[in-house]
Structure 1
């Protein structure tokens, strides 16, 4: 059996036992002091002390390959030299670190770098609004902008979506568990079927399933007795992230753009997790060639620091001054690290790198399905990959999908951590292992990720835990 235990660095303190004890004490204090809403801290009972590239070192000296990357935030991995140098340079310059939304050289440079990456036909008539530091605030800003511009209230959103945890963003998201305790949270949202081929909402899958989604959407919006008041906007993800790395077909995205354009419904694309090269294009909408009315951006645009913006067509710029504000819209350090990241991704061709490495990893994962029948589906785009785990003994449905195996997924995540690999779960029933490595992942690191993941799945599911190499 091939096993990849979490490694020692070779430079851990002499009193390693004391260091382990300190890590345990920190974890215990965290459990006692933090709210019950803790998430990642429950999945990964470690205390990161240092990090470089794709590697995290815990306070106990154990090392891990980080395939979570701050939920996709760290496009260049941890402490990349171009990011740390930008931060040192900005700190040494005496630049103000907090100026609300005042103009600064750092903001000007960031805006230039951002607009240089925007899809053709969008940048020349785009406006940017700097939001609070989280992606959910940019989503709220997008909703408010389009409600102001159209005079309408409702929203069209999709099954499987995730847009954030504040009120409007949560309402537009698909997850039921987080909405149940909040009565009426989704009252103004029309839920539409997202084309999820493996678990097709129409039970047919493939291109036909995507086409049915388009037809359903169009007919529902046009039906005078369909119960849908014309919405202020439609919001979608070109690849659903928390929804389980589910990519939308390009033809379906073009259908959504046509349907919304013909009905004067603004189209908002949430690029919070898909942006900055993650899917093998700088922005995920570029695969389909569509130009949305607004794009919501966060995560990787700040180079690892909190930053969120809304970019939209100037025709919708009907806000009055102060219509959407936030104290931390002028994060100078995030703009500096964001500028460095955006430019480095372009200069080093990291979008192409993500496409090549992601395709290679996906191909090898698909090849494992015969040896590891608990792998029901492998999907994604670029370095945004999902591996859905299922019960291989159960009967498949009409699309060939077997029931999700959430308990197996939890065990696989834990087994990965034991082998020095950090992965998180998502998708329906949290049964999809999600891979979000940094764009700078090396070939050797990609192989190690697949080896450790394959071995973890085999250890959890195969008879006698026989290991399988990727």
Structure 2
């Protein structure tokens, strides 16, 4: 697996407060108890042996007194960074009002405000006739809901997904992700320049990927039956921070529309301004039939929804339900976050800062033979490290991060310098480009 890191600012060692003996002991004790008590499936805790106790913006302080620049951003759930004042104010307002905190799918003023704000951000072609389904608290729940929706609406069963995809950890979401074997999903080539599946990259590689998809769907001997839907990430996160070429994505929209196949855009990781547009599909002008939304839409709290064209709303009452779909605190925090991003033009700011970061990182990459590629969109940026003497044009993927998520040397070195990120994760600074410690980029 390639080591893909955030494009966050190179860590200058932060001024650290010397930990007291009691703080250090408490820190080590908490980590020992976590290791003894928690599941072997834990991942981030292995590569980030930190006990966070305070956070604001892009800065986190551990129980041992060390401070870090956080480029993980809650795996994309913190569009405004940690504990932003507008988010805290929204949460306190609900708590102080005496309103119920969980209401299943009942209507409330908080829910109405969230839905109105969210619909105001959607691509116009979808917002005009959108329906919303509140799901369980995680993005993977919303992915499952999207699959169930298109299967119900079309009466078909199979799905089209892409190599390198990641859509969640429940069974159906895993089936559509790139590494799951033996499922009812047809996996299609996802175009990219650096490790193009056809060895050419650029527009030619994107054309070949699209042509492959068309051939599978149109050839009666391909074995691919008419699917219930196609699911795509406008920027693959776990796959290595891979932006979909705009022309290719428009072609996927055209071929699915021509064949009456609903197009599902998984914007769980890419939404709310991170890529330089409010929703990543806006870069290409594509209007999907279904959008899967989570992470940042909850303003740091658990919330997941799907929005979709009204004509797909073939569900009967109770066809998709869940206890925790009425989280009022998350809806209030989400409304405040969506409004703040919209009113302050943070998507455009992410585009400007991202362009500057990509330019400078690519300049640095030319001086470092261990950097194979720098890519991304807005502030969703990845740096691919390679063995510089590896075989092939792209260089060998380095070891150092096994299937359990153990830290490789680059992550460990950066953590020691005060930069918090994770390998092959959708790591990016908050969409507001938060900075601390005088890390203001200069012009140019």
Shorter-chain TM-score bucket reads: over 0.9
Higher helix share: 1
The equivalent residue for 1:4 is: 12
Distance apart, 1:446 and its partner CA? 9.4
| 1:172 aligns with one of 131, 154, 176 | 176
The residue number in structure 1 matching 2:146 is 142
Q: Post-superposition shift, 1:80? A: 0.1
Could you list the per-position Cα deviations for residues 183-215 of structure 1 after superposition, in whole angstroms to 9, with x for gaps in the alignment?
A: xx6420001000021101111111100000000
- Preserved CA contact (<8 Å) 2:246 2:284: yes
In the alignment, which of 362, 385, 406 is matched to residue 399 of structure 2?
Answer: 406
CA distance in 1, matches of 2:285, 2:337: 24
Superposition deviation, residue 124 in structure 1: 1.0
Change (3 A) 1:113 1:9: farther
Match of 2:208 in 1: 212
CA offset digits 1:215-244 (Å, max 9, x no partner):
010011000000101110000000001111
Q: Indicate the residue corresponding to 1:346 in structure 2.
A: 342
Task: Give the conservation status (yes or no) of the 8 Å contact 1:421–1:449.
Answer: no
Q: Deviations over 1:359-390 (max 9, x none)?
A: 11111110011221111000010010010001
Q: Matches of 2:417 and 2:69 in 1, distance apart? A: 9
In structure 1, C-alpha distance between the alignment counterparts of 2:246 and 2:438, rounded to whole Å: 27
Shift, 1:406, TM fit: 3.1
**Residue 443 and residue 147 in structure 1: after superposition, are their counterparts in 2 closer, same or farther (change >3 A)?**
same
Output aligned runs, 1:184-203, within 5 Å: 186-203=182-199
Contact 2:57 2:81 in 1 (8 A): yes
What secondary structure, in the 3-state scheme, does the structure 2 residue paired with 1:380 have? Answer: strand
Counterpart selection for 2:86 from 82, 86, 89: 82
Tell me the SS of whatever aligns to 1:147: helix
Q: How does 1:23-62 map to 2 (within 5 A)?
A: 23-62=27-66
Question: Which of residues 329, 333, 337 in structure 1 aligns to 2:329?
Answer: 333
Query: How far apart are the structure 2 equivalents of 1:133 and 1:3?
Result: 33
Which residue matches 2:3? none
Structure ranking higher on relative contact order (CA contacts 8 Å, 6+ apart): 2
TM-score, normalised on structure 1? 0.88
Who is 1:256 aligned against? 252
Gaps of 5+ in 2: 1-9, 402-406
**Is the CA contact 1:389–1:406 (under 8 Å) kept in the aligned structure 2?**
no
Instruction: Indicate conservation of the 8 Å contact 1:298/1:308, yes or no.
Output: yes
Per-residue CA distance 1:3-25 (angstroms, 9 max, x = gap): 83353258x7xxx1111100100
In structure 1, what is the Cα distance between the partners aligned to 2:182 and 2:342? 39
Q: CA 1:202/1:162 → structure 2, altered by over 3 Å: closer, same or farther?
A: same
Query: Could you tell me how far apart the structure 2 residues matched to 1:3 and 1:300 are?
Result: 25
Please say if residues 7 and 64 of structure 1, whose CA atoms lie closer than 8 Å, have aligned partners that are also in contact.
no
What are the within-5 Å matches in structure 2 for residues 284-295 of structure 1?
A: 284-295=280-291
1:266 counterpart = 2:262? yes
Closer/same/farther in 2, CA of residues 278 and 217 from structure 1, 3 Å limit: same
Q: Look up the match of 1:430.
A: none
Deviations, residues 141-166 of structure 1 (Å, cap 9, x unaligned): 00000000111110000001000000
The structural deviation recorded for 1:396 is 2.8
Deviation at 1:31, TM superposition (A): 0.5
CA distance, structure 2, for counterparts of residue 282 and residue 411 of structure 1: 35
Distance across 1 between alignment mates of 2:182 and 2:355 = 37
Mapped to 2, the partners of 1:250 and 1:82 lie a distance apart of 34
Query: Could you say which residue in structure 1 is the equivalent of 2:117?
Result: 113
Matched residue of 2:300: which SS? coil
**Residue of structure 1 in register with 2:75 after alignment:** 71
- Contact kept, 8 Å, 2:349 with 2:433, in 1: the verdict is no
> What SS does the corresponding residue of 2:105 show, helix, strand or coil?
coil
Q: Report the counterpart of residue 7 of structure 2 in structure 1.
A: none
**What secondary structure, in the 3-state scheme, does the structure 2 residue paired with 1:368 have?**
helix
Work out whether 1:387 is the aligned partner of 2:383. yes
Q: Is the 8 A contact 1:195 1:209 kept in 2?
A: yes
Do structure 1's residue 276 and structure 2's residue 272 form an aligned pair? Answer: yes
Deviation of 1:407 after TM superposition, in Å, equals: 2.5
Aligned to 1:152, the other structure's residue is in SS state coil
For residues 336 and 22 of structure 1, do their structure 2 counterparts lie closer, same or farther at Cα, with a shift above 3 Å needed?
same
* Aligned match of 1:440: 432
Residues 11-43 of structure 1: per-residue CA shift (max 9 Å, x gap): x7xxx1111100100001000110010011111
Deviation per residue, 1:89-146 (Å, 9 max, x gap) = 1100111001111111000000000000001111010000000000000000000000
Task: Confirm whether residue 302 of structure 1 aligns to residue 298 of structure 2.
Answer: yes
C-alpha distance after superposition, 1:48-92 (max 9, x if no partner): 000000000001110000000001110000000000000111100
Residue 444 to residue 7, structure 1, CA distance change in 2 (3 Å): closer
Alignment partner of 1:99 out of 95, 100, 103? 103
